[in-house]
Amino acid sequence: MNNVDPQEVAKFGDQAHHWWDKDSQFRPLHEINPLRMGWIESLAGVRGQRIVDVGCGGGILAESLAAAGAIVTGIDLSAKALSVARLHMLESGVENLDYREISAEALAAEQPGAFDIVSCMEMLEHVPDPASTVRACAALARPGGWVFFSTLNRNPKSFLLAIVGAEYLLKLLPAGTHDFARFLRPSELARMARAADLSVFATQGMGYNPLTQRYRLTPDTSVNYLLACRKPGG
Ligand code: SAH
């Protein structure tokens, strides 16, 4: 099965020219980027690590990881997003960064166990079969390696904040950006991770304060959250 929803990928491709515009719908990704970077850095350390960023889009996280000294491959199925990522990489002069148009499943078949760290951020809620992506991420990590996910929780509060609030009231995101049915509870994502032979190491919430218009790390995983996993061995 091809684990991709072409409409979802087209949606990101159509907006790709906005990717590095911090006042666009990609602003939330720019805002959460230092938070997730800091969390990954504190748990796994990134300097000198081989990292694959799955569903990298325009390269917001991939570029920061490379700038922090990692050797990074960013993969996505949106050719347009990857063009923007490559252009921005040239502009910022970051080294040790490579982008490829390939699925996580295909790269996992090609280079199993090749990465110290796998990151897959804000992407699982856009694919038809997230468990397949989780398995591919697990396969990409070396024994003892780290796998980081982030996505949106599924409950009445996340419906209100992430869909009604973000898409309709605050208009942080275009209407239709997210499909509530594809949100994943931390318990569901943890189950997928364990089924892929990963051990769940930690969860971390990210919260948005509409008054200060800032995101922050919080223990509350009820809307946006991160999950850190480890692959046994190593
Ligand atoms: N991870 C980036 C971008 C998140 S936006 C960040 O957090 O900054 C979601 C990205 O997932 C888009 O770039 C979209 O093209 C990509 N995507 C959606 N389905 C995909 C799939 N099946 N395989 C790879 N990338 C996919």
pLDDT at 71: 98
Q: Which atom of ligand 1 is nearest to the CA of 36?
A: 7
CA of 120 to the centre of ligand 1 (A): 8
Lookup result for tokens 């390939």: 102
Q: Hey, which of 78, 123, 147 would you mutate to test ligand 1's pocket, going by the most ligand atoms within 8 Å of its Cβ? A: 123
Distance, in Å, from the CA atom of 3 to the CA atom of 130, rounded to the nearest integer, reads 8
Is the pTM higher than 0.75? Answer: yes
Distance, in Å, from the CA atom of 73 to the CA atom of 54, rounded to the nearest integer, reads 9
Residues in Cβ contact with 216 at an 8 Å cutoff, skipping those fewer than 6 apart: 35, 206, 207, 209
For the four alpha carbons of 54, 41, 172 and 60, in that order, the dihedral sign comes to: negative
- Tens of pLDDT, residues 100-135: 999 999 999 999 999 999 999 999 999 999 999 999
Query: With a 6 A CB cut-off, is 80 part of the ligand 1 pocket?
Result: no
CA of 105 to the centre of ligand 1 (A): 14
Query: What is the Cβ-side half-sphere exposure of residue 204, based on CA atoms within 13 angstroms?
Result: 22
pLDDT at 143: 98
Q: Which helix (H) or strand (E) holds 64?
A: helix 60-67
Distance, in Å, from the CA atom of 137 to the CA atom of 183, rounded to the nearest integer, reads 18
Which residue ranges make up each domain of the chain?
Answer: 6-230
Q: Whose CA is nearest to atom 16 of ligand 1?
A: 55
pLDDT at 210: 86
Query: With a 6 A CB cut-off, is 108 part of the ligand 1 pocket?
Result: no
pLDDT tops 90 at residue 1: no
pLDDT at 120: 99
Q: Which neighbouring-strand residues pair with 52?
A: 73, 118
pLDDT tops 70 at residue 32: yes
DSSP category for residue 88: H
CA of 56 to the centre of ligand 1 (A): 6
Q: Which helix (H) or strand (E) holds 90?
A: helix 79-92
Query: With a 6 A CB cut-off, is 116 part of the ligand 1 pocket?
Result: no
Mean pLDDT of 147-161: 97
- Tens of pLDDT, residues 188-212: 999 999 999 999 999 999 999 988 9
pLDDT at 234: 79
**Domain 6-230 belongs to what topology?**
Rossmann fold (3.40.50)
- Tens of pLDDT, residues 56-91: 999 999 999 999 999 999 999 999 999 999 999 999
Q: Whose CA is nearest to atom 22 of ligand 1?
A: 4
